[in-house]
A and B are shown apart, each in its own frame.
Chain A
Amino acid sequence: MEGLTLNEAEQKCYAELFAFCDVESTKKLAAGSKVAELFRAAQLSNDMLMQITDLCGAKRLGYFGRSQFYIALKLIAVSQAGLPVRLESIGTVHELPRFTIAPGEAESWHTAQGHYEHEGPQGPYGSAAVLPPPPGRVYNKKLHNAQELPSTGPATTQRILEKQMSSKSPPQEQTSPAVSPQHTPPGSPTGWHPATERGQPVSWKPFTERSMGSGEGNWPVGSATPQQDSWVSFTNTRGVAAVDDGPAPPAHHVTVQSDQTPARVATKDAQQRMSYSDDPWRITEEQRDYYINQFKTIQHDLAGLIPGSAAKEFFTKSKLPIMELSHIWELSDFDQDGALTLDEFCAAFHLVVARKNGYDLPERLPETLIPKLIDIDDDKDVSEKHSDATFASSPVETVANKSPSISQTWVDLQQNSEQWETFSDRSSSCQTLTRFDTNITPADPETAIVHPVAIRMTPSKIHLRDMDLAASGQDASPPAKLPCAPSAADEATAPAKFAAKNNDGFHSSESAHSSDVDPSSNDSSRPRSFSGTSGEDSKRMAPPPPPPPRPHQTHSRSSSLDLNKAFAAAQQGQTLSGASAPPPAVPPRPHPHVLQSSKSVDGADLTPGPVNPLLSSQPPPEQPNFADFTHFAALQFVPEAEREAAAKEARVAAQNDKHIMKVEGQVDERNTSSKKPSRHRMKSEEESRAEAPAPEEHFKKTGGIAALGNTQPALQRSAGKEKKAIQASIRKNKETNTVLARLNTELNQQLKVNFSFLFTFSSPLAMFSSLPLSAF
């Protein structure tokens, strides 16, 4: 007999088994019932067992000495590991042999009851439920739950053995509830000292399997029951420290182990029926009960969480490689919180058991194991005492059915998490947009106010009114629907509402409000926005061309009295200090000057005919306007500027009750006048003028209703409407662009005309000049 080295776990296990089998304490295990039972519990074929007995020398000796017994056990482990049974291979396998409850019974079960749909999956599955690592624990549980008390010898011995093993077994050691040997070998074991080596005490999985099977399946064979009971008792005795070689009282129920090492196999396993479904990943009721019990050993609160460290400690006892345990954790920790809920724990436990039984770990968590995100069965998972019966497989299935959907949603959530992440980026960009929007609208209430008035009858009125209001600081009249008016009104109200603003701030607030108002007002915002932009453009371009005639300052749109007031005020302001009144809110801007000049020009511009003389008077006052508007012209997208220009022009137009033609005429005048001051200014002026009339025209087109609507909604600013403001401003810009383009063409034509005039004039002058000379 070659030397046999056993690791510590193996040594313990074997010693216990030997003691278990050695009922007679003769140190010899006759090939008696116990040994036979034990070997049969190994789930090996009889031939294999015979071979093993031959190899171990028991046959030769006629009995199982300790060494023979140990060798036999080792060979059993070897054969279970799949290696050829050879004495040489003994040293290679250091796993504990696995024994099931009643090998014979198990076999009978197999044959008798075609209960097991598959031997393989179910077997391991059964054992899966019974987690091997500390099989002793399991057995304890099983015994505990088993009502019956083992009364048979084997059961007793088993219990004894269990107790012994439980007492001796360290948390990680496998105590094998060895089947009581059928016989005790006669010979005395030759002494040999199993050296302790590293060992992976293989869980008594087969044993557990058997127990599982027996538990779950019917207890057809009476002997099975006691053995199961023994198993159960074995597990229960686990907590017992005393090693009792003698027959333990059958009724010895070990208290449920309060071992630190969670008992893998619950007694419930014994009771568990072999009602496995085909799906090895489905947790049966018994298994679930067992898992719950195990959960309680760690965490009494079923609704609580098992921290990662405790779970690690628990599952490390399963003797699975850390990598596999890590993978199992990744699979089972569904919410990735580093802790295990009851469902997660059950899933993890189930995976461990499955892995222990040879199942490869799946890449993804099976649907049936996906923890319920919604704890539906929490009520059912009561204490082990109650839940066993209540916790049927159906709930599990139903839950499983629900869990996939929940898991799907969870997966979707996880998938969407990235989207959420990206969304955050987008949100920041949105903010930038909003900020941009505010920047786009540099406060320029005047423009907004003036803008519509220039072209439209009603808008102009409203604009005038608004401008007056803004100038006076009065609360803006109920927002006129004029495009510019609303903005003006808003601007007026803005300063009133928002205090602590300097002139610039005032304007900015107003403009901001106007811009905000534009988007805020749904329908009216659009026209208002357009008007605003166009107004600004007009303002910019036209160093205030004489405000387009304000047809009716009593625009029907603004039915409010304020409008009328504003109209009157605007008129007054226009007539008197028009310039000052209109652009009250635009202190920094020289609009007033422009307005004044424009106003002065207005009178002159009333008649588009004599352009030149009028122009002569205009240039000086217009220059500052030009300067201002050039500034605005530079800010193409600045609606305020446009509004200002538009407002001024609107005022002028309102005063003169002139329409687009007038504006154009004014523009022409300005163009010609601008020629004198500076060419570059002309361009800007032209642009501004083009913009001014364009928006004005546009305003006319848009109609005063829009302006009215704008003023009214203006008061309803809301931060959420910034986007609308942006869109509105975009539209405005586009419209102004088109209008400006048209204006450009028109202006060019006028320029040509003017040039032609010049030429015509110049030629005669030359002639005249030449004449005197000639005369002389």
Chain B
Amino acid sequence: MAVCVAVITKENYPLYISNIPAANELKFHYTVHTSLDVVEEKLSAVGKTASDLRELYLGLLYPTEDYKVYGYVANTKVKFVIVIDSSNTSFRDNEIRSMFRKLHTAYTDVMCNPFYTPGDPIRSKTFDNVISSMMMQVC
């Protein structure tokens, strides 16, 4: 089962993409990229958008035969996308939410690092560890 986690800025370029297994990375890049359209669509639909967590969590963006894509938007329009293999037992909504929350927390930690300039690709080992643990747990 493959899981991919991606962090995309509001300019819609990726800050971080990682997937397990490490193969077919390009495929996940493509998937994440296509999911951006759905994200934008949901964002525009929200409109007034409060900072409500529930609104931040976009839920299942779209499913394919192989996997499901979940989306989450932060207040700063930074998007998190998680791709989960469909073969994996469907996750409860709460689990997905908790994953996004973890992702958001890890992202804020990276942002807090004064040596990190926003907009740079995320190269933090700590962040990588968090992501890996999350994906392994999912696996």
Contacts and interface: CB of A to CB of B under 8 A. Distances in A.
Contacts of B124: 326-327, 330
Contacts of B94: 422, 425
Interface string A320-333: 00110111011101
A316 B102 CA distance: 29
Interface stretch (A199-207, A263-271, A306-314, A530-538): A306-314
B92 to A, nearest CB: 9
Interface stretch (B63-71, B78-86, B106-114): B106-114
A308 B113 contact: yes
A421 interface: yes
B123 A326 contact: yes
B123 to A, nearest CB: 6
A333 B113 contact: yes
A333 B98 CA distance: 24
A338 B112 contact: yes
B98 A338 contact: no
Which of A315, A327, A331 has the most chain B CB within a 10 Å cutoff?
A327
A337 B101 CA distance: 17
A331 B113 CA distance: 10
Contacts of B115: 312, 315-316, 322, 325-326, 329
B112 A336 contact: yes
Contacts of A336: 109, 112
B75 interface: no
A434 to B, nearest CB: 19
Nearest to B111: A338
A421 B98 CA distance: 7
A316 B94 CA distance: 42
B110 to A, nearest CB: 8
Contact of A418 (B102, B113, B125, B129): B102
Interface in A418-449: 418, 421-422, 425
Contact of A338 (B102, B114, B125, B126): B114
Interface in B91-139: 94, 97-98, 101-102, 105, 109, 112-116, 123-126, 129
Contacts of B123: 323, 326
Nearest to B129: A363
Which of B98, B113, B116, B123 has the most chain A CB within a 10 Å cutoff?
B113
A418 B116 contact: no
A607 interface: no
Given A422-B94, A425-B97, A329 B114 contact: yes
B112 A312 contact: no
B112 A418 contact: no
B112 A333 contact: yes
Contacts of A311: 114
A417 interface: yes
B109 A308 contact: no
Which of B102, B124, B126 has the most chain A CB within a 10 Å cutoff?
B126
Interface string A295-319: 0000000000000110110011000
A13 B101 CA distance: 50
A308 B112 contact: yes
A336 B94 CA distance: 25
Interface range on chain B (Cβ under 8 Å from partner): 10 to 19
B78 to A, nearest CB: 17
Contacts of B113: 308, 326, 329-330, 333, 338
Interface residues of A, number: 24
A417 B102 CA distance: 9
A337 B112 CA distance: 7
Interface in A325-375: 325-327, 329-331, 333, 336-338, 363
A513 to B, nearest CB: 32
A421 B126 CA distance: 20
A619 to B, nearest CB: 52
Which of A326, A327, A331, A333 has the most chain B CB within a 10 Å cutoff?
A326
Nearest to A326: B115
B98 A308 contact: no
A336 B110 CA distance: 9
Contacts of A308: 112-114
Contacts of A323: 123
Given A336-B109, A418-B101, A421-B101, A330 B125 contact: yes
Given A418-B98, A422-B98, A425-B94, A363 B125 contact: yes
Contacts of B102: 418, 421
A330 B98 contact: no
A72 to B, nearest CB: 36
Contacts of A309: 114
A433 to B, nearest CB: 15
Contacts of B116: 326
A327 to B, nearest CB: 6
A316 B101 CA distance: 32
Nearest to A324: B115
B114 A327 contact: no
A98 to B, nearest CB: 25
Contacts of B105: 417
Nearest to B109: A336
A418 B129 CA distance: 16
Contact of A312 (B98, B109, B114): B114
A319 B113 CA distance: 17
A335 to B, nearest CB: 10
A661 B123 CA distance: 80
A327 B115 CA distance: 9
Contacts of A363: 125, 129
A331 B124 CA distance: 11
Contact of B125 (A312, A316, A327): A327
A616 to B, nearest CB: 59
A323 B125 CA distance: 10
A325 B101 CA distance: 26
Contacts of B98: 418, 421-422, 425
B6 to A, nearest CB: 20
Contacts of A331: 126
Contacts of A330: 109, 113, 124-126
Contacts of A315: 115
A312 B116 CA distance: 10
Interface in A250-303: none
Smallest CB-CB A-B distances: 3 pairs: A308-B114, A312-B114, A326-B115
Given A326-B116, A338-B112, 13 more contacts: A308-B112, A308-B113, A311-B114, A312-B115, A315-B115, A316-B115, A327-B126, A330-B109, A330-B113, A330-B125, A338-B113, A418-B101, A421-B102
18 contacts: A308-B114, A309-B114, A311-B114, A326-B113, A326-B124, A327-B124, A327-B126, A329-B113, A330-B113, A330-B125, A333-B112, A336-B112, A338-B113, A363-B125, A363-B129, A417-B105, A418-B101, A421-B98
Interface of B: 94, 97-98, 101-102, 105, 109, 112-116, 123-126, 129
